[in-house]
Structure 1
């Protein structure tokens, strides 16, 4: 056989191998596209983990006193500064009680609380400097969060100790204006016209954030733990109690792991975890017992959210327990930049004081595109209102209508068992021009609900092997 013929046959063979390889790659890509849970696995594998030097810096060596009375702000600051300037490591908080003002973290620092360590945060607002932060989805200059990191990389809070905001014994909770939280008529609160309303108006007028200066006399409470524009963060095993406001708040941050955290705080707006404008985030093995939503995924309020225009996406919730709260896993209502690729699996939700299991809330003032939300393997005991609520008419602050019609689509619940669902199994309300669409409930069993569902302006609701009150539910295509 000539050399030419040999090469020709070899070329044909290699071409066939290439075709097989390309088909194999295409099949793998198709499988990822067809099964969103494969995409979740890829997201998990893509998130880098923190990595610290084995050096340690004990806060007591920098002057900290664990008597619950001595003010330790300077000691924490010195220990953190020494740690970061020497290449990073672990700042150790030994057993005992430590009173302090806000703690500002730095690059390559792991703030580690020993098992019986408790950090008590000052309840004097004057101890909190003004920093670039956020209040209810609107950026501003306001009180520093109790623990704060801005533009940092490779940062952590770990250990089985306790972070105590002491907000139940301070002005923080009454500032909410809630009578159930200590506010009395005639006392100041965030609801006074010169406070929250002014901030929202500034954002609508596109006033630069640096000029939105609040703080003393404006009564807008600080977040508890805020990672602002950070990358590669770990929050692990800590306990958090008595928060002034939102509790775990990654904002404009990427590559976050929250693992084994216990949140027990029943104050006003005490959301357990509020990822905002954030991407590539895992929340796993946590317990949430809260005064508001257990987990609430955000992306900015109204004009401010549209200005920032960073959707929250690639957010994974695994093996968590939700007790009291307005919702187990919630998306909204500060949602103007949109949310996509949310995965929730293997969670337990159960309390007569838990209003809903899964909830999406927005309106025509917020707008936003919320899509690709996947939920599987939930055990739900009792919820007060419904299992799944998808609402484009959320209204809690007076008139909340505008020209930004939201979109809710591609939501799936699979393998969900529920004992008591409250008023409805499913509650979904959309607009005629923007129906709630492409919703699937597969292998969902709700043993008891006052009514099967409330559905308005919906499209392509698929009920597959789904039973509510022992009745098999038929799909609605519209």
Structure 2
């Protein structure tokens, strides 16, 4: 298909999307739609400006400016707020604590460099992957604030390499030599570099810092350096703005708003090395009224990630991430471009994603969960997404994240549905162009809880493998152009029901167009699709019945 054809298809898709969306939104509460998006309140600040220099800060890259920067922020807040200016220069510092009504403004030629002295970061009670945990204090933090911002076009550098364990197989020879020359120690098998003995001890004891009943912060002092902090953590804050700034080299997650309301990220750049462990770009956890626009992510783990707590603790919190607009963003290297999960136990809903580009990420749209999580992810709307050189799947749903799926078709006993059973339902994904991926669409639910009610429409997928649907219900695929290289079969359905393929195009002479597998597969329809281009239109396996294909009105 030439470029004009693709543009034409996307234009038609936009019109189709509007109809689909209006119908879907009739059941929404509140009634959000592409024509009625969530409203995100913005902070406002006094123009009064205090420079950190006035409080004794020095831009010599040697002086530790922790006290000066925090005094400037505190003084500004006490006076009723305003701007705290970080002028041009290299400013070495320990943890910065934000305060209400303060805009920390970082000039273009300013670098806030967080120290690699772990002793500057005391252990505090924090949150790690949705659980209450002991962590080192974050380089930037704020709790129970209102009207707070970090703006400008400068750089905040978390010095993450000082915290990260290094894995030999992730580095070139030159990089590895540089790593071990920095100090620390190497494991007996020569595969892992540790920055300190406390890091080694934490790794060897698998101590993740979870604050279970009876545990105190003092109990984790012997593994302190292993408990890497997220770089920017804002907890229970209202009217937050992060704009223009580069956040890079985070010890763990880069930007982590938790239980925040009315938060805006605009033109932010989150940058981590590919080798950075847990190096997520943005993790929105249990936040409401969110706007993420014009941002760029090039990181070591998930790019833009939606979370809401983990397992029972997340369900008890009961705070979904909801009413979010994510638009006009670019994601380069990441484990996923737009990700929901796997810690989504409080749910996620009313998430609107549009006009984003994913270039070189492991996966494109990635939705992941597992038994035990619970939580409902619903009313997710994605449109106008361009992808190029995706390593794995362009669109990915998996309810077996970090767990083992059944070994064979229909081999698993179906567990009972409980509050710990997660749900994915009501997704509307349209106008997707992907040039390069291992698979176009992969969907795998649970036998007891299928992925449900997903509308996929108006797509051009140039991929190795086409479409695979497992344990899914109410899935509609309309106007999908597949250009595949591994074609046996082009589309596969296993133990799923109410599946509609409508106007699917593909190249001629593929061996098998559609594979139907499993005795629980039922009500599969193929409409407006020329099945004669395939050497074999349908192939049944693993006790699938020919009655599963209820209707085939393919056109030649």
Give the TM-score, by structure 2 length.
0.73
| CA drift at 1:132 | 3.1
1:17 corresponds in structure 2 to none
Q: Alpha-carbon deviations, 1:108-150, whole Å to 9, x = none?
A: 0000000100000011221012333211221224211110001
| CA drift at 1:394 | 0.4
Match of 1:414 among 430, 445, 455: 430
Between the aligned partners of 1:224 and 1:442, the Cα distance in structure 2 is 38
| CA drift at 1:180 | 3.5
SS where residue 73 of structure 2 aligns? Answer: helix
SS where residue 474 of structure 1 aligns? Answer: strand
Q: 1:307 to 1:125 in 2, by over 3 A?
A: farther
1:149 corresponds in structure 2 to 142
Between the aligned partners of 1:31 and 1:396, the Cα distance in structure 2 is 32
1:264 corresponds in structure 2 to 271
1:378 corresponds in structure 2 to 385
How does 1:124-143 map onto structure 2 within 5 Å? Answer: 124-143=117-136
Between the aligned partners of 2:34 and 2:141, the Cα distance in structure 1 is 29
1:86 equivalenced with 2:79 (yes/no): yes
1:77 equivalenced with 2:70 (yes/no): yes
| CA drift at 1:296 | 1.1
Q: 1:383 to 1:411 in 2, by over 3 A?
A: same
2:455 corresponds in structure 1 to 440
2:164 corresponds in structure 1 to 173
Q: 1:178 to 1:82 in 2, by over 3 A?
A: farther
Between the aligned partners of 2:422 and 2:428, the Cα distance in structure 1 is 18
| CA drift at 1:379 | 1.2
| CA drift at 1:380 | 1.0
1:454 corresponds in structure 2 to 468
Between the aligned partners of 2:264 and 2:292, the Cα distance in structure 1 is 6
Higher alpha-carbon deviation: 157-166 or 468-477:
468-477
Q: 1:460 to 1:264 in 2, by over 3 A?
A: same
Between the aligned partners of 2:261 and 2:352, the Cα distance in structure 1 is 16
Check the 8 A contact 2:202/2:223 in 1, yes or no: no
Q: 1:41 to 1:89 in 2, by over 3 A?
A: farther
SS where residue 217 of structure 1 aligns? Answer: helix
SS where residue 274 of structure 1 aligns? Answer: strand
Check the 8 A contact 1:240/1:263 in 2, yes or no: yes
| CA drift at 1:179 | 6.1
2:223 corresponds in structure 1 to 217
Between the aligned partners of 1:469 and 1:344, the Cα distance in structure 2 is 25
Q: 1:336 to 1:30 in 2, by over 3 A?
A: closer
Between the aligned partners of 1:329 and 1:392, the Cα distance in structure 2 is 16
Q: Alpha-carbon deviations, 1:124-182, whole Å to 9, x = none?
A: 221012333211221224211110001100000000000111222x1x111x8786376
Q: Alpha-carbon deviations, 1:63-86, whole Å to 9, x = none?
A: 000011110001001101110000
1:104 corresponds in structure 2 to 97
SS where residue 246 of structure 1 aligns? Answer: coil
Q: Alpha-carbon deviations, 1:294-341, whole Å to 9, x = none?
A: 011111122321232211111221000010010000001111111111
Match of 2:56 among 41, 60, 63: 63
2:324 corresponds in structure 1 to 315
**How many residues matched?**
435
Check the 8 A contact 1:98/1:118 in 2, yes or no: yes
SS where residue 204 of structure 2 aligns? Answer: coil
SS where residue 401 of structure 2 aligns? Answer: coil
Q: 1:417 to 1:167 in 2, by over 3 A?
A: same
Between the aligned partners of 1:343 and 1:320, the Cα distance in structure 2 is 13
Match of 2:207 among 188, 195, 219: 195
1:428 corresponds in structure 2 to 443
Q: 1:189 to 1:452 in 2, by over 3 A?
A: farther
Check the 8 A contact 2:134/2:227 in 1, yes or no: no
Between the aligned partners of 2:261 and 2:214, the Cα distance in structure 1 is 24
SS where residue 466 of structure 1 aligns? Answer: strand
Structure 2 unaligned blocks of 5 or more: 1-21, 172-178, 180-184, 189-193, 195-199, 406-414, 485-489, 492-499, 503-523, 526-547, 549-556
Give the TM-score, by structure 1 length.
0.85
2:367 corresponds in structure 1 to 360
Check the 8 A contact 1:40/1:316 in 2, yes or no: no
1:340 equivalenced with 2:380 (yes/no): no
1:255 corresponds in structure 2 to 262
| CA drift at 1:184 | 3.3
